[in-house]
Amino acid sequence: MSETWAWTSASGWQHLAPANNPPARTWGNMAYDDATQQVVLFGGQSATPSGGALNPLTDTWTWDGTNWTQRAPAQKPRANVFMSMAYDPDTQSVIGVYDDASARGTETWEWNGSNWAPLQAGLRPKYPKQQAGLAYSTVPAVLVEFGTVFGIGAPAADANTWTYAAGLWTPHAPSAATPRARSAPAMSQDTGGGILMFGGAGSGGTVYGDTWSWAHNAWQKKSPSSSPRARSGAVMAYDSTCGKVLLYGGEVSTQVTASYFKDTWLWDGQTWTKV
């Protein structure tokens, strides 16, 4: 679909009608750029076949609250899907991380409001990080990435938690008290300034419905009184207006079938509430 929707705590979901919409796609990603007060959309997979395939995209769009504008940066990441994106207040830019399959590593890119630039980050996260979650934590002040890819022919899963600050990626080894490796978790800033993560897909068709918080370089599993059903691929964002985290959608899929969700949940720091 090529539709634009907005959610507020006062009005719920609203279907918007901007003069311009990006072409329909799946698996793009977005992040709010606080420096320019715009939402940034990059890439994804085209919904229109070309040459018999649904090809990855390399376009950049920004949303100003009223309309979408296609940008023309002098350089940009290669076409890809599932690029992790989050705003970094320390650099006042949007950071993007995606797989470099040829090098079996990852690339880190920065959007400064008008152009993309590659960052020569030290000790980059392992390949593959496609479908990883990425969000900014204020305690400590770092970007946090968690997630990996499972599938036929995929390299070994990366269960490390990776943090990024001052041009350096730092791995935090897993333990018995940390989340299991997973793909496509929902992740955002938490109500208390750390990171909130929900769900994701594990190996062998496992789908998680657990809630985790990250703060002070440690994970803590939460025990909410109510919770969304297990799923992967949900989207999540912190709403500073109401001080809660919003979760929407997701899926449970196998090699044969797929079930998609269209429910909306709010996290208040203690539990989930369906709205």
Of 212, 218, 139, 206, the closest CA to residue 174 belongs to 218
| Cα dist from 134 to 17, 24, 46, 137, 180, whole Å | 29, 24, 23, 10, 16
Q: Which amino acid is at 39?
A: V
What pLDDT shows up at residue 9?
Answer: 94
What does the pLDDT average to over 225-244? 97
Counting every residue written for the chain, the total comes to 275
Report residue 45 as tokens: 């997979």
Distance CA 254, CA 158 (A): 22
Predicted confidence (pLDDT) per residue in 106-126, tens digit: 999 999 999 999 998 788 888
- Rg of the chain over CA atoms, in angstroms? 18
Q: Give the least confident one: 95-99, 103-107, 115-119.
A: 103-107
CA 249 to CA 235: how far, in whole Å? 7
Measured over all CA atoms, what is the biggest interatomic distance in the chain, rounded to whole angstroms?
A: 51
**pLDDT (0 to 100) of residue 224:** 98
- How much is the pLDDT for 33? 98
How far CA 273 is from CA of 74, 154, 214, 252, in Å, comes to 44, 36, 21, 20
In this prediction, residue 102 carries a pLDDT of: 67
139-150 per-position pLDDT tens digit? 999 999 999 887
**Interval 171-188: pLDDT, tens:** 999 999 999 999 999 999
Tokens 């809630």 correspond to 211
Contact 83, 77 (CB under 8 A): yes
The alpha-helical segments, DSSP class H, found in 205-254 are none
| C-alpha closest to that of 39 among 97, 87, 81 | 87
Q: How far is CA 71 from CA 5, 63, 81, 249, in A?
A: 21, 11, 18, 28
pTM, full prediction? 0.95
Hey, how many other C-beta atoms are within 10 angstroms of the C-beta on 20?
A: 11
Question: Predicted confidence band at 127 (pLDDT cuts at 50, 70, 90)?
Answer: confident
Report how far residue 250's alpha carbon sits from residue 231's, in angstroms, rounded to the nearest whole number: 6
pLDDT score of 168 more than 70 = yes
pLDDT score at 256: 82
Q: Which residues, 6 or more positions from 190, have their beta carbon under 8 angstroms from its beta carbon? A: 137, 196, 213, 214, 215, 238, 245, 267, 269
Query: What domains lie within the chain, and their CATH numbers?
Result: 130-275 (2.120.10.80)
Q: In this structure, what is the dihedral angle of CA atoms 155, 44, 187, 195, given to the nearest 10 degrees?
A: 90
Q: What digits encode the pLDDT tens for the residues 6-59?
A: 999 999 999 999 999 999 999 999 999 999 999 999 999 999 888 888 899 999
**Cα distance between residue 142 and residue 78, in whole Å:** 25
Q: How confident is the model at residue 152 (pLDDT cuts 50, 70, 90)?
A: low
